[in-house]
Amino acid sequence: MNDLTLRQWLLADAPTSRRHARLSSLYKGWLTLRTNSMAMVGLTILVLLVFTAVFAPVLAPHDPFSQDLASRLQPIGTGGHLLGTDSLGRDILSRLIYGARITLYIVALVALIAPVAGLLVGTVAGYAGGWTDVVLMRITDIFLAFPRLVLALAFVAALGAGIENAVLAISLTAWPPYARMSRAETLTIRSTDYINAIRLQGAGPLRIITRHIWPLCISSLIVRVTLDMAGIILAAAGLGFLGLGAQPPSPEWGAMISEGRRFILDHWWVATVPGLAIFTVSLAFNLLGDGLRDALDPKDDGQ
């Protein structure tokens, strides 16, 4: 089928199958997202970040771990170093490029762990109700009572420094909001005629939750995850800044800022460049999250 026919098929008012309906919904969401210029800016930045991380060995002009004390603290654009060098003579641009891999690694793992755990806890609590809901929500409240970074510091102190432990600590502090959101969605969905009809057909709780409630929570979950990525990046950078995240000589952006703070007055670029990288990526996730909220949240239609 040609492009025009495919477009007409995706925009059909009456889908002919479940797959058709799903693809049509995704395409209409993409059309809405595409009209949001700021969201497309954020998406472009994140695509460039992924491209940079994947092709880091090709894009990096120097070895990010190679030290040259004779070239230490060179200014931007000096001696073949586009963004200057750090206190050990390492090329900052190369370390920034390889640091994108660590940032994406942390973001991907947390995005796989925290939302799934929160979705599981929230839907079970909302659907089961009773003492199950009370116990799970009180546990959630305990985690929400502590500031995220403080709680992450406590977990890392107990688990030990390292990027894997930092990811686990951030995930343990990031799941409660997803649980709260999933529970609220489930409480609304479970009393609908749609769910009552499925229950009358003999579907069990497990099938209802996994096949009919989870899919309806996904769009809100995606929006929340995207908007939370900035906080996750800042938490990871904070742990790296304190020496509890990725360990030297890993080119983690927070650790690079920590190293450069000693020279902030005379050699500002050492700390400023990775700080700008964190700011740019965090802003990109926020811009994309706002666009996804407009495209995926049906509650905003017509407003």
* Calpha distance 245→238 (Å, rounded): 8
What is the count of structural domains for the chain?
Answer: 1
Residue 178 pLDDT class (50, 70, 90 cuts): very high
Q: Which residues contact 168 (CB under 8 A, 6 or more apart)?
A: 113, 155, 159
| pLDDT (average), residues 181-203 | 85
- In a domain, residue 16? The reply is no
Poorest-confidence range of 103-112, 200-209, 220-229, 265-274?
Answer: 200-209
- In a domain, residue 284? The reply is yes
- pTM of this prediction? 0.85
- In a domain, residue 89? The reply is yes
pLDDT at 291: 87
pLDDT at 297: 63
Average pLDDT of the chain? 86
85: which strand partners?
A: 91
pLDDT at 6: 76
- In a domain, residue 279? The reply is yes
pLDDT at 1 over 60: no
- In a domain, residue 37? The reply is no
* CATH number of the domain bearing residue 207: 1.10.3720.10
Burial code (b: 16+ CB inside 10 Å, e: under 16) for 118-142 equals bbbbbbbbbbeeeeebeebbeebee
pLDDT tens per residue, range 149-161 = 888 888 888 888 8
**Do the Cβ atoms of 280 and 28 come closer than 8 Å?**
no
pLDDT at 265: 84
Nearest to 61, CA basis, from 36, 87, 96: 96
pLDDT at 3: 52
pLDDT at 299 over 60: no
* Calpha distance 30→39 (Å, rounded): 11
| pLDDT (average), residues 115-136 | 91
Q: Which residues contact 177 (CB under 8 A, 6 or more apart)?
A: 118, 144, 224, 228
pLDDT tens per residue, range 86-106 = 888 899 999 999 999 998 998
Residue 273 pLDDT class (50, 70, 90 cuts): very high
| pLDDT (average), residues 65-71 | 86
97-100: long-range contacts at Cβ-Cβ below 8 A with a sequence spacing of 24 or more? Answer: 97/52, 97/53, 97/56, 97/59, 97/60, 97/64, 98/56, 98/60, 98/64, 98/251, 99/251, 99/252, 99/253, 99/256, 99/274, 99/277, 100/49, 100/52, 100/53, 100/56, 100/277
- In a domain, residue 7? The reply is no
* Calpha distance 132→81 (Å, rounded): 59
N- to C-terminal Cα separation, the chain: 35
Note down the domain range covering 288.
Answer: 46-64+76-300
- In a domain, residue 156? The reply is yes
275/25: higher pLDDT: 275
Poorest-confidence range of 93-107, 213-227, 248-262, 288-302?
Answer: 288-302
Nearest to 205, CA basis, from 190, 219, 220: 190
- In a domain, residue 170? The reply is yes
pLDDT at 301 over 80: no
